[in-house]
Amino acid sequence: MSEEKKKVTRRAFLVESSAIVGATAITGGAAADQASQPARATPPRFTSPSGSVIPFGERELMATGTVRSFTGAQLGEIAFPLGGIGTGTVSLGGRGDFRDWEIFNRPNKGKALPFTFVALWARHAGSNETPTVKVVEAPLQPPFRGGDGVPRNRAQGLPRLRGAKFTGAYPFATIDFEDDSLPVTVSLEAFNPFVPLAADDSSLPVAIFRYRLTNRTQAPVEAALAFSILNAVGYDGRTMLDENVFEGFGRNLTRLRREGPAAGLDLTSDKYEADSVRAGSMALVTTHPDISARTAWEGGQWWDSFQKWFDEYAATGTLHDSHAPEPTPDGTSNYATLAPRVTLAPGESRDIRFVLAWYFPLRENYWNKEPEVKGWKLRNDYGNRFKSAWEVAAHTVSQLDRLERDTRAFHESLMASTLPSAALDAVSSQMSIIRTNTCLLLEGRQFFAFEGNNDDSGCCPMNCTHVWNYEQALAHLFPDLERSMRMTDFTVNLLDDGAMAFRTLVPVGRATWKFKPAADGQMGCILKLYREWQLSGDEAFLRQLWPQAKRALEYAWHHWDADRDGVMEGEQHNTYDIEFYGPNTMMGTLYLGALLAGERMARAMGDTAAADSYRQVFESGRVKLDQQLWGKGFYVQHVPDPKTIKVDEVEHRETWYASAVTAAGIKYQYGEGCLSDQLLGQWFAEVVGLGHLLPADHVHETLKSIYTYNFKHDFFDHPNTQRIYALNDEKGLLLCSWPNGNRPALPFVYSDEVWTGIEYQVAAHLIYEGMVAEGLAVTKAVRDRYDGQRRNPWNEVECGNHYARALSSWSLLTALSGYHYSAPLGRLAFAPRLNASDFRCFFTTGSGWGTYRQAIGRPEATASVELTRGTLTLKELGVEGFGGSVSTATVNGRPVTARSQSAGAIQFDPPVALNAGDTLNVRLRRA
Amino acid sequence: MSEEKKKVTRRAFLVESSAIVGATAITGGAAADQASQPARATPPRFTSPSGSVIPFGERELMATGTVRSFTGAQLGEIAFPLGGIGTGTVSLGGRGDFRDWEIFNRPNKGKALPFTFVALWARHAGSNETPTVKVVEAPLQPPFRGGDGVPRNRAQGLPRLRGAKFTGAYPFATIDFEDDSLPVTVSLEAFNPFVPLAADDSSLPVAIFRYRLTNRTQAPVEAALAFSILNAVGYDGRTMLDENVFEGFGRNLTRLRREGPAAGLDLTSDKYEADSVRAGSMALVTTHPDISARTAWEGGQWWDSFQKWFDEYAATGTLHDSHAPEPTPDGTSNYATLAPRVTLAPGESRDIRFVLAWYFPLRENYWNKEPEVKGWKLRNDYGNRFKSAWEVAAHTVSQLDRLERDTRAFHESLMASTLPSAALDAVSSQMSIIRTNTCLLLEGRQFFAFEGNNDDSGCCPMNCTHVWNYEQALAHLFPDLERSMRMTDFTVNLLDDGAMAFRTLVPVGRATWKFKPAADGQMGCILKLYREWQLSGDEAFLRQLWPQAKRALEYAWHHWDADRDGVMEGEQHNTYDIEFYGPNTMMGTLYLGALLAGERMARAMGDTAAADSYRQVFESGRVKLDQQLWGKGFYVQHVPDPKTIKVDEVEHRETWYASAVTAAGIKYQYGEGCLSDQLLGQWFAEVVGLGHLLPADHVHETLKSIYTYNFKHDFFDHPNTQRIYALNDEKGLLLCSWPNGNRPALPFVYSDEVWTGIEYQVAAHLIYEGMVAEGLAVTKAVRDRYDGQRRNPWNEVECGNHYARALSSWSLLTALSGYHYSAPLGRLAFAPRLNASDFRCFFTTGSGWGTYRQAIGRPEATASVELTRGTLTLKELGVEGFGGSVSTATVNGRPVTARSQSAGAIQFDPPVALNAGDTLNVRLRRA
C-alpha cells in the first residue's frame, strides 16, 4: 500500500452481479440448512516434530500429487486469468463463464462483455427431435440479486448445463461439465502459453479454449458450439457495459476471415487513429474446418435481437448473416458469433479449439499525478511484435502445437513434483500474478509492476522495492524480465546521494518519484541484484550496476546506520507504510543480508576494500543485533524515546511530533511484539544461499515462536480495527502479536492483519528451518481461505487484487526442494525437506529448466537432472544427504566424468553441458 | 415497467459488499461439498382434488400457523424494512446488521451508514475477567470479496455472535442470537408501528429496536450495548459512504439529551436552510435509565479513531466525550455512540429499547423530466406533523406502549389466522411495500406511489393505473390513503376526452402526463372506485367522482370498443408496456367488470340511463367475448391482420408498421397463448364481489389450464431471452405459454417472465374457483424463491424492488376467507375455502378491523366478529355453508336481535353497531 494514502481507499462497489458468481450447484433450503448447522466435530490436529500444534490432519497436510477441484458453491468466486505477461487477461469463471475482461490495459474486476458466451447445440443426426441449446456453463447460483431480476445480458435466461467440476493448475484450467440430459458430454481446457525463460511465448495476448464434445449415445449426434462475442473495440476497459451501447463504440465492423488453418471473426473498428489508446482489434478464430458465423446480430426493439439469434441457432445449429457486414453507428457496437459444427459417431470425441486474441497496443499512464509522466502513452511489448489481433491469432494458431507442448512440459514438470499439494498449489496459482494487470511488459521488454490492482486501476505504482522484496517467482521463471527491474532500480531510481526512489515513474527517465527511501526495499535490492547475478551468471550485468549498488548499500551509513555498526537505528520507512525507529531485526536482517551479498559481489568485482568493509560491518551487526534484540524466544524492537530522535533523522520535524507521537510514545511501532517479518532478511538470505545471518538457534526458536504466537487457528475472537483478510473459522498468520503483553496503544497500522505474502515468506522460512509441518500448515491456511467459495484461488488480495507480495510463494518450492543455484559457480543443489528418498521437483536456472529427481536407497542412490528447455552447464551437483562414491554418471546414457569428493556434492570436471532434452544421471554407491 | 424505456435499464452495480450479505453460518468446505452434491431424492408431489399435479407435499402445503425462520445461508439476503408509510426505511439484515439506509427520501439499496452498529460488552460483575466485546450480529458469510480485503467500515473486523435465527412476521422481526461463549443471551425484536386504518400511527419515521439480555450464568453480569451511529445529516441518500467524509457533511453536531423517559443522541447539522432537501436531523434514544455516551469519536490517522473507540469501550463498557461537542468541519461528519448499561442478576432478563428516528421533511422530484414538476420540492406528511427527529423520537417514546400494543394486536390477529403458512406469509410480507420508498405520503395525506424502486431511484412514477390494478392491500388496510389515489386518478389525470393519464406528475395540478391511456389501468380504476365505495360507504366521495368515472368508462366507446358491443378491439396499451390489438379477455374482463361496477354505481347515484346502458353493453360483451375467444380450455386473443388496423386506431401510423409489424404479423401479441392474466378482470370482480363475468365453467377450466400450462416445476430447460425472475430448480408461473403451439416469433415482451404480482393474482383466483391446492402451490413457489438465500423475503422484484404489483397478495386473504364487505349494504361475509369447521382470520372494513372466527359442529355452529379497532355497523353477516337458525346472538354477552332467513346469512335488525373491543357472537342450530 502506498503511504501517500493515509486512509485506505475502500472498494465501494462490487462490480459483479452475485447472481452470476453465486454459490453452489443447485442449492436450496436443504443446503442452507446444512450450512446453518455446522458439524461441531473435533477438528483434526497433530503435534509436529518440533512440538507445535498443527490444526490439520497430518496425512492431509503432507499428501502430494492432488490438485484441487471445485464444485458447487466453490465455483462462485473462481476467476482463472487467461493472458500473457503484460497483455492483460480475461478470466474463466468457475462455472465456465468469461468474466473480468481485463484485456484493455487495466483491471476490470467484475465486468463482463455482454452476450459473450458459448452455447452448445445438439441433436441426434437426422432425427426430428427438438435440438437442445444450452449455454456451456454450470447454473447460476444464489443469491439472485437485481431489482429487475437477475441480469440477462450474459444470456442468463438460457438453459445451462447442470453442473461443473473445475480443476485449475495454472496455467491450465479444466472444466468437466455434467448434464445427463444431453447426448454429448462437454469438457473445456483453457490456457495461455507459459514457458519459463521464454518471455515471448509467454506474453501473447490470447486465451485458448479447447472444448471437447463426446457422443455418449449409440447414434450419431450433430452438435455445434456457438461462441458469441461483443466487438468491444473502443471500450474503455472499465465502464459497466449493459449491452452494445457505449460512447467509445462506433464503426465497429466484424468480418469472417480464413487464413491457413484459422477461420473466424476479425473484430475491428476504424473509429480511432493508431495513436489512440482505444485503437485496437480482437479476433476469435477456430481451427475447426466446418463453421457457420454471424458477423452481426440482427437489431430490433426490446429483446428482439437476442430472441432472433436464439431462434435461428436453436432451429438449425447454424448462423448466417442476413446482409453484408457494415460498420456500426457511433455509440454502438454489435455481437458476432462463430459456430463450429461437428457430427459425432457413437462414442466419438472431438475437440473444438478457439483462440481469442486481442490487440490494444497502447496504454496511458493514468496512475501517476506527476506531470512529467501523467497521461503518457506507453506501448505494450506485444504491440511491437504484432500489428493486429488477427495477426496474433494467426501466429498463435500456427504455433499452437509447440506452444501447448512447451507449456504442458513445464506444467507437468511442476505439478508432478513430490511436494505437498498445498505448497504446489501456492506456487502454481500465484505465478498467475505475473500475467495479470499487476504487471506490465512495455516495448523493449521493460517489465514494470504495480503492487496489485484495484478493481479498475493499478494500485501503487510502480516496481515498489519493498513489496517486490518478497517476490521470488519472476526472478526464477523469467530472470531476464526480473533483471529489467534491477536496471530500473539502479539506473533510474538511484539518486545522487545513494537514496533509491522506491517507486518508478513510467516512462522512465523523465522524472524520479519523490519520497523518502524505504529501508527494507533498498536493502532488498542489493539482495535481489545478488540473486540475479547468481541465477544468470551475467558478470557484465553486475559490472554495469555495481557502482550504483555500492552507493545504494552505503547510503545506509549516511542515514539508517549512521554509526556504521551494522545495526540500523534511524527512521526506517518500510513496507508497512510507516517508519520504524530504533533497532529491529526486520530491517536489521535485510541490512545484514545486503552487507553479505555486497561483500560477495564486491569480491567478484575485485573491489576488495568495499568487500572488507562490508564484512566488517556485517560482523559487527550480526552480533550487536542479536545482543540488543533477542527477547523471550524472539527478537523485539527497541523503540527510542521520541525526545531522542534527532531533527535530521525525521522528515518534517516540525509536524512530526503531532502526527507520530502520543503520550505512550512513538506511534505505529511494534516494540515487544512478535513480528512475523522479523527475519525477513534471513529468509531472503536462505533463498539466495547466504546462510544464517543470526545465531542458528535463535533463528530456529524465533520461527517457532512466530508460528506459535501468530498463527491463529480461527478468528472468531480476534478484534481487528484494521483491514480484514481472515475471519470466522479461517486460519492465518497475524503480522504481529504481543504474547508477553505491552501491546502499544496504537501499534503499526497493519499489525492485526493477515497477508498471504508474509505467510508464504514465513512458511518457507519455517521449512528452511526444518519445521515442515508448521510451514505447510501456514500455507494450507492461506489456500483454504482461497477456496473458491470464500475467495478466488487465483487472486490473493492485500492492498489490491493479484497482489505481488504473494509471489513469495515461489520460495516454498526452493525451501521444500532445498534448491540453490549459482551460475558463477556452475553449481545446482537440492536438499529435499520431505520425501527425500523418492523425490522429484521442477527447477529453473537462468539458462534452462527441467526436472530434478533423486532416489535414496541402499546400497545405491540416484540423482538426475532432466533439462527440458535451454542449456545448463554444471560443475557441481549438490545432493544433501547423499554419501557415497559415484558409480556411474551419464548424459543421455553416455558416460561423463564425475566424482564425489565430499558428501553431498558431485563434481564434474570437465563441466557437463546440458542441452534441452538432455538428462544427467548419477548413481552413487552409499557407504 | 415504463413504456418510455424500451430498453431495460440494468442494475449495473450491486451496491452491497457480498462479504456482508453472504451466505450461511460458518460454512466452509464441508458445506460447499454438501451443496455441490444435491440430493436427487424424488421431490414430493400430490394430485389435487381437481386433478392437478401439485409439486409439494400436501401436509407441508396446507399447514397453518408456522412462521418462517431463517438461519445460516438464508440470512444472507434478508433486509427487513423498518419505517412508516412515506418515511422511508432502514432495513434489519438477517444477521442483525442495519442495511439499506433508505431514510433520505429515496431508495438506497446495498448502502449502509459506516460504523453504525450495536456492540455488546459483558463480564461478570466485579470480576477481573477480560470483558467480551462482540458486535450483535451473526458472522459475516462468504464470499469474502474486496480487493483490500473485506470492507471494514461496518466494524466487520470485530468479533460477532456465533449465530442467529431470524423470524420475520411483518411488521415484527425477531432475531435470536446464539453464542455459547457469552454470559448473556441476546435477542432482538424490531418493528415500526403498523395499525390498519390508523395512518398517522403507521407513518412515523422511526425504527424501534428492543434488545433483550438474559444472564445465563449463576453470578451477576455487567453488560452494555453500544449503539454507534453516523450523524448522516447532509447525506444525499445514494452515495456509497466509505467513512465520515462526504461533500454534504459539515457542521454536524451531536448532543446528548434527556427528555422525560427518553435519553439519547440528537444528531443535527445547521449547514442547510430549512428549505433544503438536505436539511433534517436524526435521533437515537433509549428508555433505559443508565447510559453513557460519546457524541463524537476521537480523530486520528489511519484507523486510530476506531481503535481508540474500541479500546475505551472494551476496557470499561462505557464511553465518554473527551471534550465538548463541536460542529464538524465542512465535508466531514462524525460518529456517536449511545451505550445503555445493565447489571443482571443470575437468570435475569432486561430489555433495552432504542428508538431511531429521522426527519428529512423535504424531497425533490428527481424522477420526472417534465419541466412543470422536475426539481420541485415536496413535503412529506410527517414533515408537517413534527419539527425534528428528536421530536419524533420523544413522541414515539411517549406513545410507545400504545403503539406497540395496537401493532401487536393487528399482528396477532393476522398471524393467528387459520390460513396456510405460505399464504399468510405472502399477505404479511408484502404489506411492507406500502412502507418502502415505493410509496410516498405527502403533506395533506396525499398518497403517491412508484411501481417499484431501482437501487437509488424510484421506478416508473407515479400511481401507475395498470400496475396498481393488482394492488389490494392498501385498499383494505388504509382505505383513506387508497381513496386519495382515486382522487388523483379522476380529478387530476382524467382528460377532457375521458382518457386517463395513467401516470401522475407530482405535485399534482401543474401538468398532466402525456401518453396514450392504458386500457387495463383505466378500466381497473372503475373497479377500484367501486371497491373504495363498498369499503367506505362514503357516498359523498362516490358522488364527487362519479361524473369523471362515467367519462372514463365511456371513453372505451370512443376508442377501444368503438362498436360498443362490450368487446374491446382497438389498440389497447397495457401493463406489458405494449399494445394488444383485437379482442382478448385480459382487457375484456376488466372492461366487463368496469361495466358491471359502473352499472351499480350509476344506480346508486340515481343515473338509471347510464346504468341501463352499461348493463346492455355488459350483457352483449359477456356473451360475445366468450363466443369469440373460448379456445381449447382457455381464452385466446384474436390478433387482427395488420392491414385491417385503421389509421386512427394507432398512434404514429406512419411509423407503426416499421416498428410493430413483421412478416409474421403484429409483434408482441399472444394469439393462441394461454395468458396468466387472461381473467384479470374476473379476479378483480371476485375480490369486490361482482361474481362471474364469463361462464362459470369456462372460468373454472381456464384457471385450471393456467395452472397446468403456465406453472413450471422448474426452469432448467426454459429458454428465456427476457428478464429473469425464476431459474434453475425454482418453480413459478409464466406470464404466458403456448400449449397448442403457434407461439408468435416475437410474442409480447414479458411473456417468458414470472411476476409475483400475477402469481398472487392467479393463486387467489384459483382459490376463488375452489382450486385451493393449486393456488397455494403457486403462492408457495413464490415464497420459496424468496427464501433469504436466493432473494429477500421482504422485497419481491419486478421492474424494481418492492414492486407494487405484489400487493395483490392481499387477495389470498380475501379468497381463502371468502371475505366480502359492503358498507352500503352493512354486510360482512365469509366463506372459508379451507379449515371452515374451525376457522379464524383477520378482516378489515373501511371503519374498523378485527378477527372473524367460525366453528361448524353438530348440532351447533358459531360465528363471531371481534372488532379490535374502529367501528362497524352490520345489517348482515354472511356465513357460507351455515345452515340453521340463530339460537343466540350477543355483543359482549348481551343479546342482540338476529335471524337467519336463508342459509349463509344472518340478519340484524336493528343493525348491530360494534365499537373497538366488542365481540359479536352468533350461535346457530344446524338443521
What is the chain A residue with the closest CA to B720? A157
Q: Which of residues 8-37 of A touch B (CB under 8 A)?
A: 8-18, 21, 23-37
Give the DSSP H or E segment for A378. Answer: strand A377-379
pLDDT value for B645: 80
Average pLDDT, chain B: 94
At residue A103, the 3 state secondary structure works out as coil
A221: pLDDT strictly greater than 70 = yes
- Burial (CB count within 10 angstroms: exposed 0-12, middle 13-18, buried 19+), residue B249: buried
In the structure grid, which three cell numbers stand for residue A664, read together?
505512550
Model confidence at B22, pLDDT cuts 50, 70, 90, reads very low
Across the range B593-615, mean pLDDT stands at 98
Pick among B24, B141, B730 to test the A interface (most A CBs inside 10 A): B24
pLDDT band of residue A448 (cuts 50, 70, 90) is: very high
- pLDDT for res A657: 74
B159 vs A contacts (CB less than 8 Å): 716-719
d(CA B70, CA B494): 47
Chain segment B448-480, per-residue pLDDT in tens:
999 999 999 999 999 999 999 999 999 999 999
Half-sphere exposure of A122 (CA within 13 A, CB side): 23
Where residue A879 falls among pLDDT bands split at 50, 70, 90?
very high
The Cα–Cα gap between A806 and A208 comes to 26
The pLDDT, as a whole number, for residue A654 is: 63
Using CB atoms and an 8 Å cut-off, which of residues 168-207 of chain A contact chain B?
Answer: 181
pLDDT tier for residue A26 given thresholds of 50, 70 and 90: very low
Number of C-beta neighbours around residue A859 at 10 A: 10
Look at residue B37 and tell me whether its pLDDT is greater than 60.
no
CB contact under 8 A, A158 and B721: yes
What local confidence, expressed as pLDDT, does residue A650 receive?
A: 61
Chain B residues with CB-CB distance to A718 below 8 A: 157, 159
- What nine digits make up the cell of B297? 469519536
For chain B, percent of residues with pLDDT exceeding 90:
90
What is the CB-side half-sphere exposure of residue B700 using CA atoms within 13 A? 10
Using 50, 70 and 90 to split pLDDT, how confident is the model at B414? very high
Indicate if the pLDDT at residue A275 is higher than 60.
Answer: yes
Which pLDDT value is given to residue A7? Answer: 37
Residue from A23, A18, A352 nearest B18 by CA: A18
State pTM to two decimals.
Answer: 0.95
- CB contacts under 8 A, A 793-822 vs B, are 797-801
Region of A696 please: left (phi>0), alpha (psi -120 to 50) or beta.
alpha
Residue A40: which pLDDT band, with cuts at 50, 70 and 90? low
Comparing A11-25, A359-373, B353-367, the range with the smallest average pLDDT is A11-25
pLDDT tens readout for residues A529-552? 999 999 999 999 999 999 999 999
pLDDT mean over A674-700: 98
Could you report the per-residue pLDDT of A799-852, keeping only the tens digit for each?
Answer: 999 999 999 999 999 999 999 999 999 999 999 999 999 999 999 999 999 999
Q: How many CB pairs under 8 A join A and B?
A: 348
Percent of chain B past pLDDT 70, that is, above it, reads 94
Per residue in B686-695, pLDDT tens?
Answer: 999 999 999 9
With contacts defined as CB-CB under 8 Å, which chain A residues touch B13? 13-15, 240
CB B140 within 8 A of CB A730: no
Report pLDDT digits (tens) over B640-666: 998 888 755 566 666 777 778 888 899
- Name the residue type at position B227: F
Answer positive or negative: Cα dihedral of A126, A132, A137, A138.
negative
> Residue A653's pLDDT is what?
61
| pLDDT confidence band for B41 (50 / 70 / 90) | low
How far is the alpha carbon of A431 from chain B, nearest alpha carbon, in Å?
Answer: 18
Name residues 269-308 of chain B within 8 A of A (Cβ). 300-304, 306-308
Question: What pLDDT, on a 0 to 100 scale, did the predictor assign at position B9?
Answer: 34
Q: Which residues of B touch A130 (CB under 8 A)?
A: none
B-chain residues near A25 (CB < 8 A): 35-38
- Residue A6 pLDDT more than 90? no
* Contacting residues of B for A720, CB less than 8 Å apart: 152, 157-158
Q: Which three cell numbers stand for residue A21?
A: 458468481
Q: Does A741 contact B at CB distance below 8 Å?
A: no
A721/B11 CB distance under 8 A: no
- Please state the rounded mean pLDDT for residues B890-914: 94
- In what helix (H) or strand (E) does residue A102 lie, and over which residues does it extend? strand A98-102
What dihedral angle (degrees, nearest 10) is formed by the CA atoms of A440, A441, A444, A448? 40
Does A29 have pLDDT greater than 60? no
**A302 contacts on B by Cβ (under 8 Å):** 6-7, 668, 749
Task: Judge: B156–A727 Cβ closer than 8 Å, yes or no.
Answer: yes
Q: Per-residue confidence at A334, pLDDT binned at 50, 70, 90?
A: very high
Angle ∠(B398,B400,B401) on CA atoms, nearest 5: 110
Of A689, A916, A850, A652, residue with least CA distance to A196: A850
d(Cα B354, Cα B90) in Å, to the nearest integer?
14
Confidence check: pLDDT of A37 > 60: no
The phi-psi region of residue B146 (left if phi > 0; otherwise alpha if psi is between -120 and 50; otherwise beta) is: left
Distances (CA, A) of A167 to A119, B20, B231, B695: 21, 28, 49, 61
Say which amino acid occupies B460.
Answer: C
**pLDDT attached to residue B624:** 98
Burial B869-898 (b: 16+ CB within 10 A, else e): bbebbbbbbbbbebebebbebbbeeeebeb
Region B136-158 average pLDDT: 97
- Please give the Cα distance from A186 to A164 (Å, whole number): 10
Q: Do the Cβ atoms of B830 and B790 come closer than 8 Å?
A: no
| Of A28, A279, A298, residue with least CA distance to A144 | A28
- Cβ pair A390, A417 in contact under 8 A: no
Q: Report the distance separating Cα B795 and Cα B32, nearest Å.
A: 27
From the CB of residue A402, how many other CB atoms can be counted at a distance below 10 Å? 12
Cβ neighbours around A865 below 10 Å, total: 24
Q: Which three cell numbers stand for residue A465?
A: 522495492
Q: What is the pLDDT of residues A397-413, one digit of tens each?
A: 999 999 999 999 999 99
Mean pLDDT of all residues in A671-676: 98
Residue A176 has pLDDT above 70, yes or no: yes
A770-787 pLDDT, tens digit per residue, is 999 999 999 999 999 999
Residue A729 vs residue A643, higher pLDDT: A729
Are A794 and A99 in contact by the 8 Å Cβ rule? The answer is: no
Cell of B560: 377501444
Does residue B18 surpass a pLDDT of 60? no
Query: What percentage of chain A exceeds 70 in pLDDT?
Result: 94
Q: Do A727 and B150 touch (CB under 8 A)?
A: yes
Mean pLDDT for B54-67 is 93
* B233-282 per-position pLDDT tens digit: 999 999 999 999 999 999 999 999 999 999 999 999 999 999 999 999 99
Classify burial at B690, counting beta carbons within 10 Å of its beta carbon; exposed 0-12, middle 13-18, buried 19 or more: buried
The residues pairing with A908 across neighbouring beta strands, listed in sequence order, are A898
CA distance B304 to B301: 6
Indicate the average pLDDT of chain A: 94
Residue B364 has phi, psi (to 5 degrees) of -115, 140
Residue B26 contacts residue B144 (beta carbons within 8 Å): no
Question: What amino acid occupies position A310?
Answer: F
